């Protein structure tokens, strides 16, 4: 291909992507890909000036406005800013500015480069009269009605004429909430916050715009409005005093060193900002120097955008594997052809769960857009369906856990697949041991996270049953375990061999079975063996157990590995007391919530007294609660009870009722 034909192809490609990005709000490539195309065209035109053309996208900004909107001609052009991608670009910019204005050191106004939609706001006698998009830089779209719905834009300021430039954007959390609502209603989600904001501003129906969580940040006063300020930073202070939101992360710095330090500082806090940015902007602070520097055909000479490493890139899916988390959740992970994104080389990206994998239709062999932001795990944003090869393979979830071979289960009410081998699976081993030893379970004092890490990493303990085979000699060889500590832990383990049934049930770590449910199961079945054999229908007869919990219990005991660990626990000497069946109250079962400090009994004694009568103690206040028992210093639960109209009992009233239950 000749250089002339390559230039023509680049121009056509860039114009197409301009239209997709600015007009149709449906980008097909990432910002990094667009920047690469644009830089290649700039370089070719610079090397071959005879091939330059006024029709080239390097000589203009954006794209033409949509025909459905009225046109607004900007009194001062809304030009884009040249980009810098490394330190030398910044130093070269500073050298050019210093040389042009005849100064050794230049002061710059700096601010984050907000990732939104640029707009212009016009005020007449203090009233907001017109709002426009940037469009092609000279002519934009009249979106006044839509911008009036953005609550952070003042509808009236002090009585003066002013043209304000700024960015309409969407906070990350608002974007996530919007996409969640769209997903739940079966609508197409937005790719990123920038396109969500642009799509909202450019709605023909302003009621739709009003329903979107848009925000506005002012970043300049147009040259045509300048009156009595001499620097860009003073103009921003003026905007802030008038009530316009202005980015708090702005600063005034001196020279190239100041610019680079600002870039690093904002880069470190980039992911903590509530909004997305893709770089920082440097502007010569003195406005008279801005005028002296002037413009090139496409951008001002007095400003520069210093970009951060791209957070989105395209790559190929080489394979899909499954990782098992510490709670048994199976997460599909795409193995990627290595790609540099967000400042690091990425080789894996999470696909979250099967629902997300199917919704995005990711297949082995696909070309995908990968996003990485800071320390966040990389994820696949979307698939380039038009680039899908004929042999792309659909991934099928395994029926057996890839770590331990236990059955994989997926409940209808959950998005994730789970390994059912909770007590046995090596991927869940540390979490299972810590839960088993926790204070409200087997209460094994001294068996903390650091010690569990060593026991598992050295392959000394594989299941909770192995804990009861530990010897002092084994423990003494571990870090921070002396003779006395080892002896104390062995004694603790020996003491825990005799436990209450409800503690044992809770210690098993059955999904959805908390302390209260474990207590109900113990009182209902009286022993572990009938609980192991219980069908889902029989489990549903237990007070407050529904289909989800019943299914979780059955799935746990259906896994042979879990039953084997229980047999080994018994073999190691674990014993529990059988529980007498709970009395059935003659009337309806009452639900109590305890809050505050009681003077005549502890909360645990009050709970035991209620349950001894066959009634229920709930942990939180809801409309289903029959009574809230309020002691001294009762807090939020008491307030919620009053708000919901749940009857409140003082201690004396509670004791009288308890006697009559």
Tell me which residues are annotated as active site: 113
- C-alpha dihedral over 530, 533, 538, 540, to 10 degrees? 100
B/e letters for 175-208, b = 16+ CB within 10 Å, e = fewer, are beebbeeeeeeeeeebbbbbbbbbbbbbbeebee
Burial class (CB in 10 A: 0-12, 13-18, 19+), 606: buried
Maximal CA-CA distance, the chain: 101
Phi-psi region of 480 (alpha: psi -120 to 50; beta: other; left: phi over 0): left
Look at residue 649 and give its three-state secondary structure.
strand
Which residues fall within 8 angstroms of residue 405, CB to CB, at 6 or more apart?
421
Packed helices 31-47 and 3-18: angle between N→C axes, nearest 10 degrees: 140
Give the separation between CA 129 and CA 121, rounded to whole angstroms: 8
Task: Tell the residue number behind the tokens 């300049």, with chain if given.
Answer: 220
Own/partner pairs, 170-176, CB within 8 angstroms, 24+ separation: 170/116, 170/196, 170/197, 170/200, 170/212, 170/213, 170/214, 170/215, 170/275, 171/213, 171/215, 171/274, 171/275, 172/274, 172/275, 172/276, 173/274, 174/213
Give the separation between CA 496 and CA 278, rounded to whole angstroms: 56
Give the separation between CA 552 and CA 539, rounded to whole angstroms: 10
3 phi/psi in degrees, rounded to 5: -60, -40
Cβ pair 166, 244 in contact under 8 A: yes
Closest CA to 587 of 548, 561, 626: 626
Phi-psi region of 509 (alpha: psi -120 to 50; beta: other; left: phi over 0): left
Q: How far is CA 77 from the centre of its chain?
A: 38
B/e letters for 400-432, b = 16+ CB within 10 Å, e = fewer, are ebebbebbbbebeeeebbbbbbbbbbbbbbbbb
**H or E stretch including 548?**
helix 547-558
514 phi/psi in degrees, rounded to 5: -95, -170
User: Which two structure tokens, joined as six digits, stand for 248?
Assistant: 């708090």
């Amino acid at each position: 291909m000749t250089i002339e034909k390559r230039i023509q192809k680049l121009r056509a490609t860039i114009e197409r992507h301009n239209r997709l990005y600015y007009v149709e709000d449906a980008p097909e490539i990432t910002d990094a890909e667009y920047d690469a195309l644009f830089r290649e065209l700039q370089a070719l035109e610079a090397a071959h000036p005879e091939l330059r053309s006024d029709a080239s996208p390097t000589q203009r900004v954006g794209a033409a406005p949509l025909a459905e909107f009225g046109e607004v001609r900007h009194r001062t052009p809304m030009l884009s800013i040249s980009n810098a991608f490394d330190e030398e670009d910044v130093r070269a910019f500073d050298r050019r500015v210093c040389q042009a204005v005849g100064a050794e050191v230049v002061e710059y106004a700096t601010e984050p480069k907000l990732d939104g939609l640029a707009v212009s706001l016009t005020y007449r006698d203090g009233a907001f009269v017109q709002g426009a998009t940037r469009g092609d830089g000279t002519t934009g779209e009249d979106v006044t009605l839509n911008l009036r719905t953005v609550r952070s834009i003042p509808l009236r300021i002090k009585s003066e004429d002013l043209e304000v430039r700024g960015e309409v954007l969407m906070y990350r959390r608002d974007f996530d909430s919007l996409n969640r609502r769209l997903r739940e209603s079966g609508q197409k989600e937005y790719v990123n916050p920038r396109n969500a904001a642009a799509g909202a501003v450019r709605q023909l129906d302003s009621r739709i715009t009003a329903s979107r969580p848009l925000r506005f940040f002012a970043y300049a006063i147009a040259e045509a409005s300048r009156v009595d300020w001499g620097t860009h930073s003073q103009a921003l202070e003026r905007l802030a005093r008038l009530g316009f939101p202005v980015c708090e992360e702005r600063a005034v710095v001196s020279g190239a060193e100041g610019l680079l330090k600002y870039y690093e500082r904002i880069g470190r806090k980039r992911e903590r900002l509530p909004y997305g940015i893709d770089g920082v902007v440097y502007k010569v602070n003195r406005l008279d120097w801005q005028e002296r520097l002037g413009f090139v055909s496409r951008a001002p000479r007095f400003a520069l955008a210093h970009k951060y490493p791209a957070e989105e890139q395209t790559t190929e899916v080489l394979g899909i594997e499954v990782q098992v988390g510490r709670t048994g959740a199976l997460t599909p992970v795409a193995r990627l052809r290595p790609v540099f994104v967000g400042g690091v080389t990425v080789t894996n990206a999470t696909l979250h769960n099967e629902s997300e994998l199917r919704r995005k239709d990711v297949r082995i062999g696909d070309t995908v857009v990968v996003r990485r932001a800071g320390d966040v795990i990389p994820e696949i944003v979307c698939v380039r369906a038009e680039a899908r090869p004929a042999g792309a393979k659909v991934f099928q979830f395994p029926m057996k856990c890839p770590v331990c071979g236990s059955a994989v289960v997926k409940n209808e009410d959950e998005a994730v697949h789970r390994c059912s081998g909770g007590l046995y699976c090596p991927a869940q081993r540390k979490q299972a041991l810590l839960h088993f030893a926790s204070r409200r379970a087997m209460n094994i004092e001294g068996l903390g996270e650091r010690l569990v890490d060593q026991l598992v990493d050295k392959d000394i303990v594989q299941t909770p049953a192995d804990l009861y085979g530990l010897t002092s000699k084994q423990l003494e060889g571990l870090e921070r375990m002396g003779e006395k500590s080892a002896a104390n832990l062995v004694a603790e383990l020996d003491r825990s061999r005799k436990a209450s049934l409800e503690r044992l049930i809770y210690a098993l770590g059955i999904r959805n079975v908390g302390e209260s449910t474990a207590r109900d199961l113990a009182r209902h079945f009286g022993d572990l063996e009938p609980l192991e054999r219980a069908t889902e229908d029989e489990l549903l007869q237990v007070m407050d157990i529904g289909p989800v919990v019943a299914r979780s219990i059955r799935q746990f005991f259906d896994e042979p590995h879990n039953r084997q660990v229980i047999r080994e626990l018994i073999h190691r000497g674990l014993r529990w007391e059988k529980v007498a069946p709970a009395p059935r109250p003659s009337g309806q079962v009452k639900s109590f919530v305890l809050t505050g400090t009681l003077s005549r009994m502890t909360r645990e004694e009050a709970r035991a007294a209620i349950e001894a009568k066959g009634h229920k103690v709930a942990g939180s206040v809801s409309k289903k609660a029959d009574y809230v028992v309020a002691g001294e210093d009762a807090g939020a639960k008491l307030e919620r009870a009053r708000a919901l109209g749940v009857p409140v009992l003082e201690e004396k009233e509670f004791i009288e009722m308890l006697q009559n239950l």
